[in-house]
Structure 1
């Protein structure tokens, strides 16, 4: 009888099979990402595309910084897959925030910085966020006020307090990120803080703090006695 060659299937080379057999913890970063993107291109399978993504983005940390245009520039990542990856990033951020509770009391800078850290620390451009508080200093929600360049995002007290009044906030906290990772406030940051604090006093909606988010670090105007 003629001998036939049979291709031997190795489950360990298939991320989905490997996950079922050993659990998600056994998968490499590329294998986890391959499970999400599912398929590759004519030239590359999903695992090869995943390795390319992680190489281009410098791992999951870089992937958290990615935007739609940088993702779709990668061969094998179209609009649908980019949306999926961005959705996963947003889920991670929201899960981190929801873990702390929807009515979290925002009465100290460390707690506020921790709440917003994953949302802001990866951004490559400055973003200004308004945190809305009720009369017991509890989190009501947030509004993105401005998005700028890699080193500046401009707002005015008028923009800040239009949103605060519209949402019936009793107090507010301003936050913005420094993409450099260094949260040291600029002279413009200090000026805006002073102007917003004064406007808040006049309107009866106090600026409780202005927090600058760096890379796993922060600067609080309140902690430094500047508010």
Structure 2
């Protein structure tokens, strides 16, 4: 298998994984609808940053340690679960406290989008890095796509880069798609519903992560 064949084969696997609805998709959609397009892209960039880090970690063996060490995997799982639950409860609590949301395009919404781009990036990065299943995915797949005689680190970076490009393309479609539907989706009631759904998904995902049997 050549390097090009490895990249194309991995792109097929990563592409299928990318379009399956999951936590990353929910976060980007919520950011696009409840915040701003720029905030959503910042969140998507954070998710891609986490993927790159996981890809490099898998290539140099850090993810292999997680796969081999039950204690290390469990500690990361608990940290990730706690983060997901906290993030979800924060959304649910905010929706309970607020009775209204600034209109789309309003001054306050625009300011929030500008001021919190770093927060969006950190949210995306943290969510990805604290999900050990992402690391397990990379350690399970990357070794299968390393051609003979090619640096594993280089391949890990390239494969993670392919995954990020596919994810950003998918997230871009989602973000612009929600932009066209903004008239219906960015009302106060719609945002409360979306935040409630996203918060519930995050809490459920975190609890499932914390309660699943050790691998």
Would you say same fold, with TM above 0.5? no
Q: TM-score range by the shorter chain?
A: under 0.3
Higher strand residue share: 1
Q: Which structure has the greater CA radius of gyration?
A: 1
Relative contact order, CA 8 A, sep 6+: which one is greater? Answer: 2
Higher helix residue share: 2
